[in-house]
Structure 1
């Protein structure tokens, strides 16, 4: 059964995008060499569940060979949660307006692989609805100062997490399971 995994690269001060959803900061990061988790996670992904802002936002690799999910190496079914789906079909994408329906469709498409959740807003909504299973955070060696935080959690409800794994080094990671 598929698990919903929110995976994001975050600045040390907690932002996954700069002001106005700017992602170009990621293209200015130093190359820290091979990273076992980052270099292989895409192989475990069966589908994407993408939020509105991420779908309509900017890809820092647009126009290059690295454009698209996971630096352009991943392809597969993509589901977009939005209140305003396009009026015409978009090849490779399914647009849905209901959170639970979108999560179920993406999980069905992923089979026994992960559903990669892309976007802070949809991740927070899935977490609040009890649908998010895991969180994988890559910590980038940069301070952005402002932008989109990893999570917005305005109601202040505490969510218990447990560590699955972590790595150290120039770009540390932490992989967490959401306790349910």
Structure 2
């Protein structure tokens, strides 16, 4: 099998284990069982447990980045920037099973970075990436006249990123209370408050 394909299959197994059981249960043995492989096969593609986890985190980041960037391109249509802006920001919120699993993974890996130094650069990339995304969306909305030009975009980007983080955490921990409908309503209400 193509090594890149096998490594991606192992990353997907890591994702399933982490979503179901948490980062601490994503051992080489548990991931091998999940992937239907011998533990030696996992070791053939990854030098260590840490290497496997770091690869999975990077695969998660790239997957989210590719999907979000596809939506960012839609911000170019200045005639109706509000709807594309909502779609871009919604891509990082737990609004369906796929995005909820990604949010669970994001939260698990970022939390694990507190005690696993090797995860810190990835956690920093996720932190900074969300702020850059928020800044880009707010810049385009300001240029299109969808939000008031008087706003401090650096501060508003931090505020929006913090809102998205909070909505994500609540959506993961309390999905029965922070429903997708409520999540979208709160996001739209915040964007409306910037007019």
Q: Which TM class, normalised by the smaller chain length?
A: under 0.3
More helix by share: 2
TM-score (norm 2): 0.25
- Structure with higher Rg: it is 2
TM-score (norm 1): 0.27
